[in-house]
Chains A and B, each alone.
Chain A
Amino acid sequence: MAFAWLPGALGDITRGALTTILLIVVTTLVGTLLSILGAAGRRNGPAFLKRAIAVYVEVMRNTPFLVQLFFIFFGLPSLGIRLDPILAAMLAMTLNMAAYTIEIVGAGLDAVPGGQTEAALSLGLRPRQVFIKIVLPQALTVIYPALTSQIVIMMLESAVVSQIAVRELTYEADMLQARTFRSFETYFVVTLVYLLMSMALRRLLVTGGRRVLGAGVS
C-alpha cells in the first residue's frame, strides 16, 4: 500500500465529490417535486394518467439503473434527442428516484386521515390549498425517514454515471488509478470519501428535517 500520490490527487477528488453532490441535490429537488405530482396524479388524476404512472413506476423499479442510464444516453439520440453526459445523468437519476419516491409519497398521502381534508374543505379552503397546506405537510412528516434513505441510496447509486463519462467522484477515481497505477489504494480512499459523504448526508437530512418538519422526525 502506498499513498504518496494522495496529496496531489486531493483537488481531483474534491472536484469529483462536488459534482456528485450537485447530482444528488438536483435529483433530490426535482425527483421529490415529480413524485409529489406523480403520487397526487395517481390518486386523483384521470384513469389513463393513473394507469400511465403505475406502468412507469413498475418499469423503473424492475430494471437496473445502469440500463436506464444507457437507454437514455445512447438510445435517445437515435430519436434525435442528444443530451450532455451530465444532463443525461441528472435525467436518469431523477426519473429513477421519482419511481421509488412516488410510492413513498403515496403511502404518506394515504396515511393522512380523510377527516383532515373534510375539515379543511369545510373551513372554505380550495382543494389545491387543502392539498398543499394541510395534507402534504403531514404526509411529508410521515414519510421523511423513508425519503431520507432513498436519497442516500441514490447518492451511492450515482457512482454508476461515471460509465457515461460524467466527471463525478467515481470517474475521477478511474482517472487517478489509471495515472498512479495504485488501483486498490485509489478506490479505497474514494470508498472512504463515499462513506463519509453518505453519513454526512444522512445526518444533514435528519437535522434539517427536524428543524423544518418538527420534532416527530427521527
Chain B
Amino acid sequence: MIEFTFWDIVRNLLLAARWTVLLSLAAFVGGAVVGLIVLFFRIAENKWSRRIASGYIALFQGTPLLMQLFLMFFGLPMLGLRIEPWTAAVLGLTFFASAYLAEIWRSGVDALPRGQWDAGASLGLHRLQELRLIILPQAFSITRAPIVGFLVQLIKSTALTSIIGFEELVRTSNAINNATFEPFKVYGLVALIFFVMCFPLTQYARTLEQRAAAH
C-alpha cells in the first residue's frame, strides 16, 4: 500500500480539478454554440422548426444526464466513431448544456416587448439583422443571472463523467479513497474544492439577480 500524506491527497485532487474546470469550460462554450443554433430553431417563424427545437429541449430536460452520457459513450462507437471517455464527456455535456442555454435565452427573447421587433422591422432590418442587432443582445443581457446559475449546475454535473471513466476530480478521489481508506477526508476535500469553484459564481448570480430586480 502506498502512503499518502494529507498534502499528497490535496495535491492530487487539485491536479485532477484542472480537468473538471477544463471540461466545464469546454461544455459551456460548446453548449453556447449548439444552444444558439437550437435557439434559432426555437424562435423561428416556421412552426415545425419551433416544434423540433422544443422536442430537443424537452428530451434533454426530461431524461437523466447519466443516461445521456451512457448513450453518447455506447452510441457513438456504433456509428463507427472511436470514442474515448473525454470525447463522450465533452459531447454529452455540450448537448446537455445546449438544451438548457437555449431554453434560458428563449425566455429572454420572450420577455422582450413586441415593439422591439416592430421597431426593427420599421427600420427596414430583415429578420437576421433584427436578431443580431436588437433582440439577442437584449435577451443575453437580461438572462445573465440564470446563465451563471446554470454554469454552477454544469460544473456540478461534470462529476457524472467520472462514471463513464473520465479522469476528473471525482474519479481521482475514488482512486485515492481506494488507496487510503479515508473517505471522510477525501470526499470532504472534494466537496470543498467544488464549493470553492461554485460558491463565488452562485454569489455572482445572486448579485446579478438583485441588480436586475433593482432596475
Contact = CB atoms under 8 A, between A and B. Distances in A.
Interface in B135-152: 152
A64 interface: yes
Contacts of B78: 184
Interface residues of A, number: 39
Interface residues of B, number: 37
Given A75-B187, A183-B70, A187-B71, A63 B63 contact: no
Contacts of A158: 64
Given A62-B198, A184-B74, A199-B62, A68 B67 contact: no
Listed residue (A67, A76, A190) with the most chain B CB atoms within 10 angstroms of its CB? A67
Nearest to A157: B64
Interface string A65-92: 1111011001111110000000000000
Listed residue (B62, B152, B156, B173) with the most chain A CB atoms within 10 angstroms of its CB? B62
B26 interface: no
Interface string A84-126: 0000000000000000000000000000000000000000000
Interface in A135-160: 152, 156-160
A163 to B, nearest CB: 6
A74 B177 contact: yes
B25 interface: no
B71 A188 contact: yes
B74 to A, nearest CB: 4
A129 interface: no
A156 B202 CA distance: 22
Nearest to B20: A64
A158 B63 CA distance: 11
Contacts of A183: 70, 74
A70 B183 contact: yes
Contact of A170 (B66, B74, B170): B66
Contacts of A152: 62
Contacts of B29: none
Contact of B202 (A62, A78, A188): A62
B198 A63 contact: yes
Nearest to B201: A62
Contact of B59 (A58, A156, A177, A195): A195
Contact of A194 (B67, B156, B158, B188): B67
Interface in B66-87: 66-68, 70-71, 74-75, 78
Interface in B32-67: 59, 62-67
B190 interface: yes
A150 to B, nearest CB: 13
A59 B190 CA distance: 12
A67 B74 contact: no
B195 A160 contact: no
B7 interface: no
B74 A194 contact: no
A61 interface: yes
B194 interface: yes
Contact of A59 (B64, B68, B157, B195): B195
Interface of A: 58-59, 61-68, 70-71, 74-79, 152, 156-160, 162-163, 170, 173, 177, 183-184, 187-188, 190-191, 194-195, 198-199
Interface of B: 59, 62-68, 70-71, 74-75, 78, 152, 156-160, 162-163, 170, 173-174, 177, 182-184, 187-188, 190-191, 194-195, 198-199, 202
28 contacts: A58-B202, A62-B152, A62-B195, A62-B199, A63-B195, A64-B158, A64-B159, A65-B159, A66-B159, A67-B159, A68-B191, A70-B174, A75-B183, A75-B184, A152-B62, A156-B62, A156-B63, A160-B66, A162-B66, A170-B64, A184-B71, A187-B67, A188-B71, A190-B67, A194-B62, A194-B63, A195-B59, A195-B62
